[in-house]
Structures are given as C-alpha cells and as structure tokens.
Amino acid sequence: MKKFIATTTKIFLISTMLLNAKVNACTRLVYHGPDNTVLTGRSMDFSINIPANLWIFPKGIERNGEVGPNSIRWRSKYGSVVASSWDIAAPDGMNEKGLVANLLWLVASEYPKFDYDGERPGLTIAAWAQYALDNFATVDEAVKFFEQEKFAVVSDFIPDTDKFTTVHLSLSDASGDSAIFEYISGKLKIHHDRSYKVMTNDPVYEQQLAIKSYWDTVSGQDFLPGTGKAADRFVRASYYLSVLPQTSDPKIAAASVFSVVRNVSVPYGIAIEGQPHLSNTRWRVVADQGNLIYYFENALTPNVVWVDFNKVNFEKNADVMKLALDKNQTYAGESSSYFIKSKPFKFKGLDSNPY
C-alpha cells in the first residue's frame, strides 16, 4: 500500500510540473495495423465555435500564399478532401495518395519574420496544411521539401478575435510514416519517425516525448491521468493506441480509432474556472489512408459522415464540391453524393502590408 501511495504521489508531482503551462486542446493519433492498415484520427477542440464544412478539391487548382505580391504560387498535384474552419482555413484533410495533414494549436509557436515587400515569399498559415496535401504523396517528400525553408509561414489573428494563430503541423501517410513540424523561436523543427504516432498541443513535441518516456514506465492498466489537459490526453491516447486490437477490417479499425479519439475528447460545454484554454471538442476526424475513406463527426450532430474517395472525381478541371455542415446540417454514412458544386473558399491571409 505504501509503495502504491508513493508511486501515485510521484506521478502527481511530475504531472503537475509538466502541466504547469497554459494548454489548448486537440489530439492526433496514428494507428498501425496488419496488412498495411493505417488510420489517423484527431479531435478539434477550441474555446470558441469553429464551424466546419467538408470540401472536395480536384487536382490542378491554382493557388497562392495569400500574403500579398510576395506570395508563393502553386498548382495542386493531388486532389483532397478537407475540413474547413469558417471557410477561411483548412486545419485537416487527406489527399488522394493517403497523405493526412492536421493542424493543432501550439502556444509556443513563433514563426520566421516575413518582409511583405522582401524577396523571400510567404504562405498564409491558413493554407499550410493544404499546401502539403496539394504537393506531396508521402511524409518523406514533405520533410525533404520543408526542411529547405523556401518560404515563410505567415500567421495572423483569427478574424474578429484576439487569438493570434499559433499551430504546429502533423503529417502521416499511407505507409504509416509520420512527422511533426513546429516553428520555435522562428526556427523550423522537424520530428520525423513512424514511431511519432501521438501529438497534442503544448508543450513542444520534444517535451511531449519526454512526458511519454516517463509514463511508459507506469502500467496503463493500473493508473492513467484523467484530465483534459494536453499531457494527460497524450498519455491516454498513447496507451490506448498501444493496446487496440490489431485488425485489417476497415470498419473495426475506424471504430477503434474513433473510440480512442472520443476517450481523449473534452466533454461539450465544459468550462473550468482558471482554465480558459481548456477547450471542448467541436468535431472529430478519422482518415483511413489505405482504403481512402475520410470520416467526420460533429459534436452537435453526432452522426458520422464519410467520403469514399473511390466515388469522388479528383481529375483536373473537375468541380470543387462542398458539403455544408456549419449550420448543424445532418447527414449520416457515405455522403459524397450530397456535395454540391461550389466556388472554392479563399484562404485568409494578409490583405495589406501590416507594417
């Protein structure tokens, strides 16, 4: 009994020290199963309403970095399905090659300086994930490109709020490879390894790995931290992911990943005094990267809708399509036939020189 109390006290003290910083929500995890079964799940947790719509973008779309005349320009190589935020950003999505991109909040983010009239081009942070989906089939391709830092990622305040956007990017591909991209003190830090399967918010990813190394010494069957704070969610997601049944059945795999994402979600409407950054879950996604199925679940309309990529036209000059979900429209099951032709939304960037 004394040993149990001592162990529990040690866990509490270490957890308290690790969790002393302000945190935001969101959790991302990657499942590796038999027969090349790979799925990525995530929760979108935010302190204010963040309405989402689903979009189908074909290949061949011309885009720019939306930061004025000094913006990068590109034409999408791959089609994708994305979940938008306010139809000004794409924080989540999967492309036709099975590459998944997720943006999660990271308070510690600090991006490189951008000269509006300078020579180095820029990319709005609202399109950071979309740029990866448009241009890369694998994590390795993306890592080799991003480490060259050919452009600056440019952030700004979310419209009509005092929230300056500070996020990090995770990528996973159909092989199960994984990478996390963070800008710390203006420098890009890349963590690239297929073992990096779980990611939350603050602290920076290097410290998240340190937290995991400690909790790996504690049996999850005996004790797991249960709060909604980022480090606790990281520990729970890591443990449950490690003990999920190994299956290549797509329905069981998707259900298993959803069950872990729900376990680390923050109950809707939760507000804790003194914890303004602890945010409830708004929506969840599971992306099946082998079977190319993108599942989406809204907390306010808890029916899972999904898009089977085999039923989508991603060819060049195909229509951009939208499934409106931002007013709690209700769908269930495979919903590609409910998408309607739409003009693509414009990524929020810099409308003018801010300096």
pLDDT tens digits for range 94-116: 999 999 999 999 989 999 999 98
Distance of CA 24 to the CA centre of its chain: 13
Closest CA to 292 of 83, 103, 37: 37
pLDDT tens digits for range 52-108: 999 999 999 999 999 999 999 999 999 999 999 999 999 999 999 999 999 999 989
Please state which of the ranges 50-54, 135-139, 173-177, 197-201 shows the lowest mean pLDDT: 197-201
Closest CA to 111 of 207, 188, 192, 205: 188
Q: Residue 144's pLDDT is what?
A: 98
> Any idea what the Cα angle at residue 189 is, between residues 42 and 132, rounded to 5°?
55
**pTM summary value:** 0.89
Q: Residue 60's pLDDT is what?
A: 97
Q: Looking at the predicted structure, is the pLDDT value of residue 14 above 80?
A: no
Q: Residue 9's pLDDT is what?
A: 41
Q: What is the mean pLDDT of residues 269-290?
A: 80
Residue 327 corresponds to which tokens in the numbers above?
């007013």
Q: What is the mean pLDDT of residues 123-135?
A: 98
Which residues are identified as catalytic? Answer: 26
Place 13 in a pLDDT band, splitting at 50, 70 and 90.
very low
**Measured CA distances, 4 to 216, 219, 224, 275 (Å):** 17, 12, 14, 30
pLDDT tens digits for range 238-279: 999 999 999 999 999 999 999 999 999 988 887 666 555 568
Q: Residue 175's pLDDT is what?
A: 98
Please tell me whether residue 302 adopts helix, strand or coil conformation: strand
More confident call, 215 vs 314:
314
Q: Which DSSP state fits 29?
A: E
Q: Cα(209)–Cα(53) distance, rounded to whole angstroms?
A: 33
pLDDT tens digits for range 184-226: 999 999 999 999 999 888 778 777 776 766 666 566 566 678 7
Q: What percent of the chain has pLDDT over 70?
A: 86
Q: Which DSSP state fits 266?
A: P
Q: What is the mean pLDDT of residues 34-42?
A: 97
